[in-house]
A and B are shown apart, each in its own frame.
Chain A
Amino acid sequence: MSAHPAPERLHDLVDGRLSNDETRDVARHLETCEACRDEVEAIRLLLLRLERLPREVAPPSRIWPQVASRTVERPHPRGIRWIPAVAAAGLVLIAGLWIGGAFRRPIHAPLPPPSPGAEAAARPAEVIAGLQAESARATDHLLAVFQARRDRLPPDVAAAFEESDRSVARAIAEVERALDRHPDDRRLAERAARTIRQRIALLERAVRMASRPL
């Protein structure tokens, strides 16, 4: 068996970047080397999976109005959908029911006295800021995937998910503002953490539903 070709030569082979002579040499080696054959096969398989990725991902609907306002000075695209008041109320109700568990108490409830030794530990508001930053990427990604597949869901279901997500995002922002004012309130922080986790769970559920085979 001839010497193993350098790994980059196997990539070049798959990419069709070798000359005829080089291709012949590597092909001759592959006939007798199972390890290199497996390597080539694995690269091909990966490329096949990459080729099958969707070429389009629907951008968030807010992008066109922003583009239009900076270009053709048309604040809203034509044919914007009119949402009947009844349907809108229904969506808000769904959102309200969904986040009910996270917001049984008003967020401006009396605060507990600071616990002894609280100075030494990370402040609750800092913990939440870290959690929020950590979850932002997952949230963004889930939203993008959901947007790409929202057409697979009935329009009312997709809209309900979106409205619920907006409501939860607003709720998180509200608790965060409260935490800005009371950065040592652990109950506020716990509520914020719970709501952030619930938002991710909601989005994961939306993505799972939208990913089911048609």
Chain B
Amino acid sequence: MDADEFHHLYRSEAGRVFALCLRLTADAEAAGELTQEVFVHLWRKRGAMDGVENRGAWVRRVAVNVALNRLRSERRRLRRVAPVEDLERLAPPPRVTTDQTLALEAAIGALPPGARAALVMHDIEGYKIEEIATMTGTTGGSVKSQLHRARGLLRKALGR
């Protein structure tokens, strides 16, 4: 892959990568940094992409892994400095309700990190429960439990 191809890959995939990172982190600054990390990683490993048929899916998989690694290390860092019960308080909902989509995005951003990751990966990105369990290093049962919790919290936040 040469520089032009890489730039083309960035132009075609950066929007999806940024959206995925934004929803997983609920933090635009972090999402920008992660998007950068994803593409730097892709460039460094570009040789591995030569035979890949669906490059978009490959790129998104890398994005999920990079974002989940960040979330894991962030959670470890927060555990060292804050009691666990304070973690959910660290992601207050943005005060934005301009329209239904914004309200939904805000409600997703306000979900606890584990529930948010399960919902974004399953209900928005379309990964299977088993794939998410592998990527997050948990069990299918745990992913389902987080997913159902996330849906319940979203419905509550949206009023039904």
CB within 8 Å: A-B pair count: 131
B144 cross-chain contacts in A, Cβ below 8 A? 8, 11-12
Contact A59 B18 (CB under 8 A): yes
Binds A, one of B9-17, B66-74, B76-84, B131-139: B9-17
* Residues in A54-100 with C-beta less than 8 Å from chain B: 54-60, 62-64, 66-68, 70-72, 74, 77-78
A127 touches B (CB below 8 Å): no
CA distance A45 to B16 in the complex (A): 23
Distance of B14 from chain A, by nearest CB (Å) = 5
Distance of B138 from chain A, by nearest CB (Å) = 16
Contact B43 A7 (CB under 8 A): no
- Contacts A59-B18, A63-B36, A211-B99: A72 and B28 contacting too (C-beta < 8 A)? no
Contact A140 B29 (CB under 8 A): yes
- Contacts A53-B124, A72-B3, A144-B31: A64 and B14 contacting too (C-beta < 8 A)? yes
A74 cross-chain contacts in B, Cβ below 8 A? 3, 7
Name the one of B6, B19, B92, B160 contacting A57, with C-beta atoms under 8 angstroms: B19
Residue of B at shortest CB range from A141?
B94
Majority-rule SS of A interface residues: helix
Distance of A172 from chain B, by nearest CB (Å) = 15
- Contacts A77-B7, A211-B99: A59 and B14 contacting too (C-beta < 8 A)? yes
- Contacts A63-B14, A64-B10: A137 and B92 contacting too (C-beta < 8 A)? yes
- What is the number of residues of chain A that contact chain B, defined by CB distance less than 8 Å? 48
- Contacts A42-B155, A140-B28, A141-B94: A56 and B102 contacting too (C-beta < 8 A)? no
- In the A-B complex, the 5 residue pairs with the smallest Cβ-Cβ separation, listed nearest first, are A56-B15, A140-B28, A59-B18, A72-B3, A141-B94
Q: Which residue numbers of B lie inside 8 Å of A, CB to CB?
A: 3, 6-7, 10, 14-19, 22, 26-29, 31-32, 35-36, 39-40, 43-44, 91-92, 94-96, 98-102, 104-106, 109, 119, 123-124, 129, 144-145, 147-148, 151, 154-155, 158, 160
List 12 other contacts, CB 8 Å, given A56-B18, A59-B31: A56-B15, A58-B18, A59-B17, A60-B28, A64-B10, A137-B94, A138-B96, A143-B28, A145-B98, A204-B98, A207-B102, A211-B98
